[in-house]
Structure 1
Amino acid sequence: MKQRFVERNYNQMINRGRRPFDRSAYPDGINLIGLVRAEMGLGQSCRLLASALSAGEIEYSLYDFQLGSALLKAGDHTLDEKISEEFPYNINLIHINPDEMMLMYTRMGEERWNSRYNIAFWLWELEEIPEHWKKFFPMLDEIWTPSEFISNNLRKVTNLPVRTMPYCVEAPVDEAMDRKYFGLPEDKFLFLVMYDSNSTIERKNPTGAIRAFRKAFKSHPDVGIIVKVNNAKPRDMEHLKHWLKDCPNVYYITDTLSKVAVNSLIQQADVFVSLHRAEGFGLVMAEAMIVGTPVIATNWSSNTEFMNPDVACMVDCSFVELKKDSPPYKKGAVWAEPDVLMAAKYMRKLYVDRKFYEKIKYSAKVYIDEKLSMANAVGRIKKRVGEIYETFERNL
């Protein structure tokens, strides 16, 4: 019943039409709408956008969009002073999943859409854009994404302007959060695998990284693996423990950590491994590169825009068609199947070849500092916002 009510309101808005952008209706600036407090990738991405707006001295306000799920931790209060129920500015920047658009509209109300320039900031991992996204296009004036991978796929299905706005990536650490702090051994070479159960285990594919680890080392006394799981579900943990049951040096971390603690954990690992099947951006890989932890990653989708074989261990992949739905991904969609044997070879090489290890570590940090810098992110946003305002003034 609730879904039908939301659909009806949405259809009424589209049929009635909303008032077009009027720069003079509200002061210049951005109302950033997203999961501001969420302790997950989408929340951190929203906070990175806020950092760029602040660094660019762009007037902005934050609206904390809450999903109300008991599984979603929302305890990050770093930006609370900017959170408001008001929408004071003339651009809405909507950083949420498309599937939440109707819910967000009903919460915001029609007036908060009218006369504003409405930009969706969307992420998606596969080349196939979901068909039902198309019904949201009439609500928008423009779409931003963090990668050309997503932007190019969206341009195939909409005539809206689609702009690529990579995140500025920051990864502050606390040097006091050492291996002892996390209960990790000092004398092991440690690989780190991370994922959030609220993302699909099939796409994040921690099992692939674990299989590679088993092939590379399994019972090696001087090597171990850290498995960090957010929002751990019993079924997922049973699955992971099954694959690691014969491995002696396994360290599970399932506590929800602050962002600084997560960054510090990544820094304490020797290598970060992501044998994902698709990524909408790959934030944790970028953060690992920043803190000086070499990365082994699947050579496909959005992460390839800030990674290459000179700065990371890029794992070849084949492509497979989904034989059944894997929500939110539909049967028939295509994603990557990374080469586990190649990943295992990289694991061994990083362990035994110190010169190679140091080269990757240094090159990655230099490259990522430039590629995903604050200056780059701020410059793109300010340029595009200026163009939006200039176009409005020209058309008067």
Structure 2
Amino acid sequence: LNIRGVDFDLDNPAPEGFSSDTLIEEYGPAKINLIHLNAESTPLAYAYQPDVFSGRYNIGYFFWELDKPAYCHYLGMEMLDEIWVSTEYGVQIYKPDAKGKPVVNVGMCYEEHPDITREASRAFVNRRFRFDDSHYVCLVAFDSFSFVQRKNPVSVLKAFQKAFEDVPNARLVVKTQNRDSVFDPVQVNLWDRVDAIISSDPRIVVMNETLSYRDLLQLKAGSDCYISLHKSEGWGFGMIEAMALKVPVICTAYSGNMDFCTEDTAWMVDYEETELRQGDYIFVRKGSVWAEPHVDDAARQMRAAYDDPQARRSKAEAAYAHIRENFSAPAVAKRYGGRLREILAEL
């Protein structure tokens, strides 16, 4: 029997991201606790952490991608006094089953990176992929652990080929990570389909690599458009990060990203709702639906953006202005503060 030891700790944050290194034991008593855990994990905070929850007003901040709460969410929902979400889509998910508890859209902020410039970022992209400034670079980016079928790269590839059949200088970068650690047969099959498409189209390249956050932002900033033909998003980090870098966005007109994606800020792709099957995603409830974006419409939107450089500039500027007004750290802090003051006035 072969045995391999693996270091593990309950406090085991991902290597990338913005996790705090402050221990919960250092926190003092508070009238309100804001718990940034998804619903299925919320009971773990009560089980494994010191009891800072009894007699307090406890708020859970949830992300979820499907149109109904998973059955494993209900215990966490019961343990809380209030639920916060980042989008109106999140309100629609949780409010019907919240038993009258407040479900509040407080938004989500993005980070500004004024040191990430278009010129330096394009040079980074050109070096990495041996492109040059004559290439029109489209980017789709996702983590393979986030379920390949939800991120839907096959539709992106099909739409790209329809849109740019006569554009030899068009390029598509499919940026992912953790591909080699995905063994689910459905997802493996999707990657096989991706490989089959790109094998006959040298304009498409797959990048399976965990980049530093700065390099990921440079990859986005150096691209000419960012594409997300997702089937559902709880929020849509990739899209709002692209907007913050003034990169044009082409996306499915569905789910969490609709709080910041409009006809004025993005090229919106039509869709139809389809019912999920078991295995399409985690914790799937019977009757749950998500979007199936129309490939032909996606191709039209991609081509419309390509054919109109002025529209790309104007929509990118409009998107940047919109998210800066509504989703900057100061803007979201006002929403947090406003709701917290309302709660404190009632305690």
Q: TM-score, normalised by structure 2?
A: 0.85
Query: Aligned letter for 2:204?
Result: V
CA distance in 1, matches of 2:18, 2:86: 24
Aligned equivalents of 1:237 and 1:338: distance in 2? 19
Aligned to 2:160: 213
> Where do 1:9-158 residues align within 5 Å?
66=11, 73-76=14-17, 79-80=20-21, 82=22, 85-90=25-30, 91-109=32-50, 111-158=51-98
Stretches of structure 2 that go unaligned for 5 or more consecutive residues are 1-8, 183-187
In structure 2, how many angstroms separate the alpha carbons of the residues matched to 1:323 and 1:385? 39
Which of residues 248, 256, 264 is equivalent to 1:294? 248
**Distance (Å, rounded) in 1 between the aligned partners of 2:195 and 2:324:** 36
Q: Distance in 2 between matches of 1:134 and 1:107?
A: 19
Residue 170 of structure 1 corresponds to which residue in structure 2?
111
Letter in 2 for 1:272: Y
Paired amino acid for 1:382: G
Q: For structure 1, which segment, 112-121 or 294-303, has the greater mean C-alpha deviation from structure 2 after superposition? A: 112-121
Given the alignment, which residue of 176, 182, 203 partners 2:150? 203
2:35 & 2:52 partners in 1: Cα distance?
Answer: 12
Q: How far did residue 219 of structure 1 move?
A: 7.1
Q: Which of 238, 252, 272 is the equivalent residue of 1:284?
A: 238
Q: Distance in 2 between matches of 1:346 and 1:94?
A: 39
> What amino acid is aligned across from residue 383 of structure 1 in structure 2?
G
Give the aligned length: 323
* Cα deviation, residue 75, structure 1: 4.2
Shift of 1:217: 2.0
> 1:216, 1:348 within 8 Å by CA — same for their partners in 2?
yes
Shift of 1:355: 2.2
The Cα shift of 1:389 comes to 1.8
2:4 is matched with: none
Give distance in 1, aligned partners of 2:193 and 2:29: 48
On the 8 A contact 2:253/2:268 being kept in 1, the answer is yes
Q: Is the 8 A contact 2:226 2:247 kept in 1?
A: yes
Q: Which one scores higher on RCO, CA 8 angstroms, separation ≥ 6?
A: 2
Distance 1:181 1:113 in 2: 51
Q: Check whether the contact 1:145–1:151 (CA below 8 A) recurs between aligned residues.
A: yes
Q: What are the superposed Cα offsets for residues 296-333 of structure 1, whole Å, 9 maximum, x if unpaired?
A: 10111111111111111001111111243423123431
Determine helix, strand or coil for the equivalent of 1:335.
Answer: strand
Cα distance change, pair 77–135 in 1 and its aligned pair in 2 (3 A): closer
Where 1:156 maps in the other structure, the secondary structure is: helix
Report if aligned partners of 1:76, 1:258 keep a CA contact under 8 Å in 2: no
1:359 aligns with 2:306: no
Distance 1:250 1:141, change over 3 A: same
What CA distance in whole angstroms lies between the structure 1 residues aligned with 2:291 and 2:191?
23
CA deviations on 1:185-235 (whole Å, 9 max, x unpaired) are: 123101101111111111111111111112112574201101110222363
Query: What are the Cα deviations for residues 19-52 of structure 1, in whole angstroms up to 9, with x where unaligned?
Result: xxxxxxxxxxxxxxxxxxxxxxxxxxxxxxxxxx
Q: Select which of 269, 276, 281 maps to 1:327.
A: 281
Deviates more, 1:130-139 or 1:268-277: 130-139
**Separation of aligned partners in 1, 2:206 and 2:154:** 14
Establish whether residue 190 from structure 1 lines up as the match of residue 145 from structure 2: no
How far apart, in 2, do the equivalents of 1:184 and 1:364 lie? 30
- Compared with structure 1, are the counterparts of its residues 74 and 105 closer, same or farther at alpha carbon in structure 2 (3 Å cutoff)? farther
User: How far off its partner does 1:359 sit?
Assistant: 2.1
Specify the SS of the correspondent of 1:296.
strand
Deviations 1:238-259 (A, max 9, x none): 4422232211122322221222
- Aligned-pair distance for 1:76? 4.5
- Residue 345 of structure 1 corresponds to which residue in structure 2? 300
CA distance in 1, matches of 2:231, 2:25: 38
In 1: Cα distance, 2:34 partner to 2:95 partner: 19
Q: Which moved more, 1:129-138 or 1:171-180?
A: 171-180
1:248 matches 2:211: no
Displacement, 1:266?
Answer: 0.6
SS in 2 for 1:253: strand
The Cα of 1:162 is off from its aligned counterpart by: 1.1
Which whole-Å CA distance do the structure 2 matches of 1:352 and 1:65 have between them?
A: 51
Given residue 126 of structure 1, which amino acid in structure 2 is its aligned partner? L
- Kindly report the root-mean-square deviation, in angstroms, between the aligned alpha carbons of the 2 structures: 2.3
Residue 339 of structure 2 aligns with which residue? Answer: 384
Q: Which residue of 2 aligns with 1:48?
A: none
In the alignment, the residues of structure 2 paired with residue 299 and residue 210 of structure 1 have an alpha-carbon distance, to the nearest angstrom, of: 18
- Cα gap change, 1:255 to 1:382, in 2 (>3 Å): same
The equivalences for 1:247-266 within 5 A come to 247-266=201-220
Change beyond 3 A, Cα 1:351–1:138:
closer
CA contact under 8 A between 2:266 and 2:315: conserved in structure 1? Answer: yes
Q: Which residue is equivalent to 1:231?
A: 178
Maintained 8 Å contact 1:195/1:230:
yes
Question: Among the aligned pairs, what percent are the same residue?
Answer: 31
Q: Deviations over 1:337-377 (max 9, x none)?
A: 11111111121222222222222222221222112122220
Please give the alpha-carbon distance, in whole angstroms, between the structure 2 residues aligned to 1:381 and 1:274: 28
The alpha carbon displacement at 1:170 in A equals 1.7
